[in-house]
């Protein structure tokens, strides 16, 4: 293979770190650490982060061709995000701590989510969506012991889920992707076409400011979310997020969605008829399922969200006026941790 050098890829790693800092400061608020040093370590399959210092696996700093020759495929996109993930620990773990192993999912999961922001802002929505598909695969593919990580237990059990029966890779396949998905789902629930991510940013700034240099618990985070939740998120009508945390943080729910649609012309203009079916859940499971449309000009926009409870379907007819719709989709940005049938 000739001489292997890691020097050339340092520019990419440095650029991603600088951009990550800007994006994370915008979404989460300032961190007390004003500089960061990055270096490589001999480990090939993990990075490490301390305040103002990040160790990257040397395998992150070689090009794709060399990496493939040395280590084979990168099935879950690990090398695309290990740098931004470790930088994010300057916020999650170093600025805001975690109280016990039951809360460690926030440190790893929030760092995983943060890396998705870097992908979306630097490389676009295709890489962003690929990332969440990789995370879903980690959660739902069976390991060599025959278990899916999402079924073994809730994220709050953390590393206690590793054992001889289920496998010792369960925690890695669970708390990183599912912790990230939990924050991603909250972001997408707070998103509006008019204000974008502003409500989510306000919530995360408040969380970082409130628990600056302190250990935070899962219940601390839940209370913070309830402080900033939008009216649409109040599915129980009690201004609490018990419904969401019981299903995804303290539970192992994974719904399946089927979606069909048709377009037509009505007396008031074009219309969209849609049907969404939710299955594989208990009777009390509830979720907001976002609906998107791709317009004739190729722009994808969020049309709204349908609330489903239990194993049920909703049907609706939406007026489109003069807008021409090429297609309609649900869960376009992996807004909900679920299996979406094509």
What would the pLDDT profile of 19-30 be if each residue is shown by its tens digit?
Answer: 999 999 999 999
Please indicate, yes or no, whether residues 40 and 113 belong to a single structural domain of this protein: yes
Please indicate, yes or no, whether residues 60 and 140 belong to a single structural domain of this protein: yes
- The last residue of one of the domains, among 182, 209, 227, is 227
Question: How many separate domains does the chain show?
Answer: 2
Q: Flag whether pLDDT at 31 surpasses 90.
A: yes
Domain limits at 304?
A: 256-340
What would the pLDDT profile of 237-282 be if each residue is shown by its tens digit?
Answer: 999 999 999 999 999 999 999 999 998 887 778 899 999 999 999 9
Q: 109: part of which helix (H) or strand (E)?
A: helix 104-123
Please indicate, yes or no, whether residues 313 and 221 belong to a single structural domain of this protein: no
Comparing 27 with 71, the larger pLDDT belongs to 27
> Does 239 reside within a domain?
no
Q: Which long-range contacts (CB under 8 A, 24 or more apart) does 315-318 make?
A: 315/273, 315/274, 315/275, 316/273, 316/274, 317/271, 317/272, 317/273, 317/274, 318/271, 318/272, 318/273, 318/274
CB 263 within 8 A of CB 270: yes
> Does 209 reside within a domain?
yes
CATH number of the domain encompassing residue 205:
1.10.390.10
> Does 106 reside within a domain?
yes
pLDDT band at 125, cuts 50/70/90? very high
pLDDT band at 73, cuts 50/70/90? low
What would the pLDDT profile of 173-208 be if each residue is shown by its tens digit?
Answer: 999 999 999 999 999 999 999 999 999 999 999 999
> Does 262 reside within a domain?
yes
Please indicate, yes or no, whether residues 203 and 295 belong to a single structural domain of this protein: no
Q: pTM for the full model?
A: 0.94
- The last residue of one of the domains, among 212, 227, 242, is 227
Task: Give the Å distances, CA to CA, from 176 to 20, 61, 80.
Answer: 18, 22, 15
What would the pLDDT profile of 1-21 be if each residue is shown by its tens digit?
Answer: 456 677 777 888 889 999 999
């Amino acid at each position: 293979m000739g001489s292997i050098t890691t020097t050339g890829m340092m520019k990419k790693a440095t650029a991603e770190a600088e951009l990550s800092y800007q994006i994370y400061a915008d979404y989460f608020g300032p961190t007390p650490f004003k500089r960061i040093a990055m270096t490589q370590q001999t480990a090939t399959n993990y990075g490490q982060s301390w305040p103002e210092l990040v160790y990257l696996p040397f395998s992150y700093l070689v090009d794709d061709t060399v990496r493939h020759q040395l280590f084979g495929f990168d099935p879950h996109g690990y090398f695309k995000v290990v740098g931004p993930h470790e930088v994010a620990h300057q916020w999650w773990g170093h600025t805001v701590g975690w109280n016990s192993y039951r809360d460690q999912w926030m440190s790893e999961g929030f760092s995983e989510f943060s890396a998705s922001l870097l992908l979306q802002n630097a490389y676009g929505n295709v890489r962003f969506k690929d990332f969440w598909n990789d995370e879903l695969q980690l959660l739902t593919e069976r390991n060599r012991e025959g278990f899916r990580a999402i079924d073994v237990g809730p994220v709050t059990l953390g590393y206690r889920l590793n054992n001889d029966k289920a496998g010792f890779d369960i925690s890695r396949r669970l708390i990183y992707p599912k912790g990230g998905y939990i924050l991603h789902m909250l972001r997408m629930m707070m998103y509006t076409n008019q204000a974008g991510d502003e409500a989510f940013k306000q919530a995360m700034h408040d969380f970082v400011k409130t628990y600056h240099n302190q250990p935070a618990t899962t219940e601390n985070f839940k209370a913070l979310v309830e402080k900033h939740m939008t009216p649409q998120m109040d599915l129980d009508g009690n201004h609490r997020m018990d419904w969401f945390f019981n299903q995804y943080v303290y539970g192992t729910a994974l719904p399946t969605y089927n979606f069909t649609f048709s377009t037509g012309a009505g007396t008031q203009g074009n219309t969209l008829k849609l049907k969404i079916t939710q299955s594989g859940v208990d009777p009390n499971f509830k979720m907001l399922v976002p609906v998107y449309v791709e317009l004739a000009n190729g722009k994808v926009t969020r049309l709204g969200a349908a609330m489903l409870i239990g194993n049920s379907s909703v049907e609706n007819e939406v007026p489109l006026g003069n807008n021409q719709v090429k297609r309609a989709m649900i869960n376009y940005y992996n807004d909900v941790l679920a299996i979406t049938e094509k």
